[in-house]
Structure 1
Amino acid sequence: MKILVSHYTLQDKSLLASKWTKLFIGSPNSVFLDWNWISAWLNSIPSTPIVIEAKINEQSVGLGLLCSNTKRILFNTFEIKQLWLHKYGDDEIDQTWIEHNDFLLDSSYEDATREAILSYIKTQFGRWHEFYLGMSQTSIQKKFEDVLGSPRTLVSSADFSVNLEEMHDVNDYLSSLSKNTRSQINRSKKLLAQLGTVTLARAKTTQDKQVYFKKLSQLHQQKWRHTDLGSGFDNPVFVNFHKALILDDINNSYTNIFALELNGDALALVYLLKTNHGWYFYLSGIQTHPDNKIKIGLLTHTLVIEQAIIHGVKKYSFLAGDARYKQSMSNISEEYQSLVCFSKSSGLLKLIEKLRQIKHIMTHSSTD
């Protein structure tokens, strides 16, 4: 079995779409490598990426999209050439935030194809200094390390999920939680019901989606706008990306927005991405209730998980994030996800790494 790897500048998006969707069927089906996400991402970046493709007997068994940019360092003296996998390399553009990142690979040849692509990038791709991967699970990252060496970690976070395979209804889910979490959910449901009619609605039509998206934006901005992280909904790139992703999903096969409503007023909205086997919680907008005994977020996720069970979904993922509620509502802790940087060996990069270490030591010494 010979795997041939090549790279070229993307010119025909429709041809790539055909290859990508066909390969995705036989891949591990990462929700972030679905063509819906990739197509929206291609429309959001200001330059054309490089396609890297692996073939066996003229059949595509691996695909990836790389963006290349140059960063000037050390008083603008030196140039560092960077490669980013399914990211652009710019904080504003990359706020759309991909997780579970990897090459798109045929499951039958997954490890061999990934190794062949990485060997090609390392030895034949051309001049580069840094290769960025992420957010990606630890097990995937280690396979990159086998070829590219140990990386530098920029961001790392736990990844929590709910295994729904053995659950027949929401009571099965609730019984898997701690007594305290279960009590908070049940009490919230009871207290909220005393205030009126509580319903979980889903955006089905284009009009529904536009209304929900606007409300979601407002609630998210209220919570995050004045924090260090900020709200993505203040970023036009982020807004246009996700709005297109949701509105272009005419059959609601890839996205969902659920709303917890009290007497028709949305108290919380949850935005999901979907595969055949899993629902992935991407973000939410939640009103803080004046009664601190009413946990709107916990109740909303519980009702959405109930819908997931009804629809035969096998996993409800909270994705990356160390928030306490994610841990308390999950019954399994998946691998950590990280954004990492692999570096080619060079005198310049060794100097840069030495300066980083000195800065780290000085920073920590000043806080002791």
Structure 2
Amino acid sequence: MWRELESRSEISFFTSWSWIGSWLRCLPTDVAPMFLRARLNGRLIGAGIVVGSVMWKARCIPMRVWRLNETGRPELDKLTIEYNGLVIDDTVKHLVEPLMVQYLLDQGSEWDELQFNALRRPVMPPKQRARSVFHALRTRLKRVRQPAYQVCLVDVREAGEHVRLIKQKPRYHIRRSYNTYQQSGPVTIEAAQSMEQALAWLERLKHYHRAYWAARRQEGAFQSDFFNDFHDQLIRANFNRGEIQILAVKAGDREIAYLYNFVWNGHIYNYQSGVNYAEMGGKLSPGMVAHTLAIDFNAAAGHHTYDLMAGDHHYKRALTLQTVQLDWWAARRPTLPVKAEDSVRRAARLATRIRPSLSKAS
């Protein structure tokens, strides 16, 4: 049902059945997802997965939270969905999406907070009713926006290569690094040609990814069994559909980096990377070289967008010339837990303002 609907909907890889199906298959049995669906004359025209959980606010207040395509459990949500949203038939999207959002708002007796995170576009109840709806439900709406960083591959094809489009300083670092790597042998980029090769290269990516975070005394994403099981499932289910791209970047026999990307209707999502900083780093830029080569590789393949996604990092700003906005959207009802959290936070802010005055007085 989902596959047939997504063929009629402009969606991202993260709301395709490739992602959602793998996610549902890997969820532990104590997670109870709800299937939100809209039908017209028996035909599915809208879908989403809603999961309820209890979230502890201010460390002591249990709050019932419903989320779209997430669980609310940090160890499971490390998957980090982006370009989230409902899957809706494009011909009726402008009518059906507001009604589906309104339906969830109308279930307010079941939740204290409703979250739609990392949305591709804002979602709202019908515009003419939005103000009266929120007033009647006494529901507060909070929205936060963050940029996602993209490269237009059409521009790259017209320019001939990606480095011609970026600023002088990163262009210099990339070319200097590339020329240095060539002393070890030809610098190459290659995509995994089989599922077995993709899984083997993913293990090399994990090795470098873990080394990077271990050097900072932090845990990387691949420390989680759930995270690893999910991506094993995802690759096995979807590599032969052409939706998984794992790239190896080398200088001769020396590994520079591995990149793990998703491919969806000409849109390349860079999801994870493993960069050999120990041998190829120092004053050089192995990660930026790898992404530049990946951008040129995908431009040559005829794709239209290379997406470094959300998260404000220097290398993303250096490599991209455009951003799109993702929305984090939350509705909160004035339930007892919400009021209690508001009171605790007001008291904490007041204590913060009073404390300097008491110190001066003493």
| Bucket of the pairwise TM-score, normalised by the shorter protein | 0.7 to 0.9
1-structure distance, mates of 2:88, 2:310? 22
2-structure distance, mates of 1:319, 1:226? 24
Residue equivalent to 1:53: 37
**What letter matches 1:93 in structure 2?**
L
Which residue, 294, 299, 319 being the options, matches 2:309? 319
Residue equivalent to 2:190: 201
For residues 226 and 300 of structure 1, do their structure 2 counterparts lie closer, same or farther at Cα, with a shift above 3 Å needed? closer
2-structure distance, mates of 1:31, 1:366? 49
For residues 151 and 226 of structure 1, do their structure 2 counterparts lie closer, same or farther at Cα, with a shift above 3 Å needed? farther
What is the SS of the residue equivalent to 1:102?
coil
Shift of 1:43: 1.3
Residue equivalent to 2:332: 343
1:358 aligns with 2:347: yes
**What letter matches 1:193 in structure 2?**
Q
2-structure distance, mates of 1:120, 1:142? 11
Q: How does 1:18-97 map to 2 (within 5 A)?
A: 19-46=1-28, 47-71=31-55, 79-97=62-80
**What letter matches 2:36 in structure 1?**
I
1-structure distance, mates of 2:59, 2:262? 43
What is the SS of the residue equivalent to 2:323?
strand
> Is residue 29–residue 275 contact of structure 1 (8 Å, CA) maintained in 2?
no
1-structure distance, mates of 2:40, 2:101? 16
Residue equivalent to 1:135: 118
* Unaligned runs of at least 5 residues, structure 1: 1-18
Residue equivalent to 1:113: 96
Shift of 1:142: 6.0
Q: How does 1:187-266 map to 2 (within 5 A)?
A: 187-225=176-214, 227=216, 230-251=219-240, 253-266=242-255
Q: How does 1:277-296 map to 2 (within 5 A)?
A: 277-288=266-277, 289=279, 292-296=282-286
Q: How does 1:176-187 map to 2 (within 5 A)?
A: 176-187=165-176
For residues 108 and 263 of structure 1, do their structure 2 counterparts lie closer, same or farther at Cα, with a shift above 3 Å needed? same
**What letter matches 2:220 in structure 1?**
S
> Is residue 122–residue 327 contact of structure 2 (8 Å, CA) maintained in 1?
no
- Identity among equivalent pairs (%): 22
> Is residue 99–residue 126 contact of structure 2 (8 Å, CA) maintained in 1?
no
**What letter matches 1:273 in structure 2?**
F
Shift of 1:106: 1.4
**What letter matches 1:318 in structure 2?**
L
Shift of 1:208: 1.0
2-structure distance, mates of 1:364, 1:334? 37
Shift of 1:357: 3.6
**What letter matches 1:65 in structure 2?**
I
Shift of 1:174: 2.2
The farther-off stretch of 309-318 and 172-181 is 172-181
For residues 143 and 164 of structure 1, do their structure 2 counterparts lie closer, same or farther at Cα, with a shift above 3 Å needed? farther
Shift of 1:74: 7.8
For residues 252 and 218 of structure 1, do their structure 2 counterparts lie closer, same or farther at Cα, with a shift above 3 Å needed? farther
* 1:131-181 CA-partner distances (Å, limit 9, x unpaired): 1221224x425679956654456x864211011224326634322211112
2-structure distance, mates of 1:323, 1:73? 29
Given the two structures, how large is their TM-score scaled by the length of structure 1?
Answer: 0.85
Given the two structures, how large is their TM-score scaled by the length of structure 2?
Answer: 0.86
> Is residue 53–residue 64 contact of structure 1 (8 Å, CA) maintained in 2?
yes
> Is residue 271–residue 282 contact of structure 1 (8 Å, CA) maintained in 2?
yes
1:308 aligns with 2:298: yes
Q: Determine which structure has the larger helix proportion and give its number.
A: 2
Q: How does 1:8-27 map to 2 (within 5 A)?
A: 19-27=1-9
Shift of 1:275: 0.7
What is the SS of the residue equivalent to 1:167?
helix
For residues 261 and 126 of structure 1, do their structure 2 counterparts lie closer, same or farther at Cα, with a shift above 3 Å needed? same
Residue equivalent to 2:83: 100
Shift of 1:265: 3.2
For residues 330 and 73 of structure 1, do their structure 2 counterparts lie closer, same or farther at Cα, with a shift above 3 Å needed? closer
**What letter matches 1:53 in structure 2?**
R
> Is residue 76–residue 227 contact of structure 2 (8 Å, CA) maintained in 1?
yes
The farther-off stretch of 61-70 and 289-298 is 289-298
**What letter matches 1:70 in structure 2?**
V
**What letter matches 2:293 in structure 1?**
L
1-structure distance, mates of 2:217, 2:126? 31
* Unaligned runs of at least 5 residues, structure 2: 358-362
* 1:279-334 CA-partner distances (Å, limit 9, x unpaired): 01111010114663421111111111111111111111100110011011111121
For residues 115 and 340 of structure 1, do their structure 2 counterparts lie closer, same or farther at Cα, with a shift above 3 Å needed? closer
**What letter matches 1:118 in structure 2?**
V
Residue equivalent to 2:323: 333
2-structure distance, mates of 1:291, 1:319? 23
